């Protein structure tokens, strides 16, 4: 009997994700599908140096990633999310996916999809579980491939 691979051959037609800090502590992580590779660029606020890496898209576990996208229903996310309170610093994101007839283009600054978690009397949400699940899924997708250094 043939062994079934965990690696999906189903790769999206377009994929771009960016998670970034807003304000003085401006770190960033960008991931995008470019010419058959999943390319990651990261920078930390401490040195500003951009670090590059890439993994062959064909070696990534796209099936698990698609399952997570469907579970958190990114396909229903709004195009723009705004902060529930005025905050100058914080975090933002942008996401663009086109995959077999489904697509999402969404972004936000201190506002994210899903129901926020508040803690005690703090006026700003401490977490956005649906968004955090997306970040974990993106990390897992990249980690599922074998990194090619520059």
Mean pLDDT per 10-residue interval, the chain, length 150 residues:
48 94 75 94 78 91 95 96 76 94 93 81 74 93 76
The C-alpha angle with vertex 140 and arms to 9 and 54, in degrees rounded to 5, equals: 70
- Using DSSP, state whether 22 is helix, strand or coil: strand
Whole-number pLDDT of residue 88: 67
What is the spatial distance between Cα 83 and Cα 141, in angstroms, rounded to a whole number? 28
Please state the pTM of the whole predicted model.
0.81
Whole-number pLDDT of residue 5: 43
CB atoms within 10 A of CB 11: 17
Would you give the end-to-end CA distance of the chain in angstroms? Answer: 39
Q: Are strands 14-22 and 90-99 parallel, antiparallel or unpaired?
A: antiparallel
Cα–Cα distances (Å) from 142 to 20, 24, 100, in that order, read 17, 27, 20
Whole-number pLDDT of residue 7: 40
Whole-number pLDDT of residue 120: 75
């Amino acid at each position: 009997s043939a062994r079934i691979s965990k690696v999906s051959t189903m790769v999206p037609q377009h994929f771009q994700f960016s998670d970034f800090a807003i304000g003085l502590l401006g770190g960033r992580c960008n991931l995008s599908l470019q010419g058959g590779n999943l390319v990651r660029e990261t920078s930390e606020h401490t040195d500003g140096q951009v670090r590059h890496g890439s993994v062959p898209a064909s070696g990534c576990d796209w099936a698990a990633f698609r399952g997570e996208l469907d579970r958190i229903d990114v396909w229903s996310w709004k195009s723009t999310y705004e902060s529930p309170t005025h905050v100058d610093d914080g975090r933002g994101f942008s996401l663009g996916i086109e995959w077999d007839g489904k697509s999402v283009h969404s972004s936000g600054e201190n506002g994210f999809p899903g129901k926020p978690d508040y803690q005690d009397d703090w006026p700003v949400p401490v977490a956005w579980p649906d968004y955090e699940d997306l970040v974990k899924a993106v990390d897992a997708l990249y980690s599922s491939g074998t990194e090619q250094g520059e």
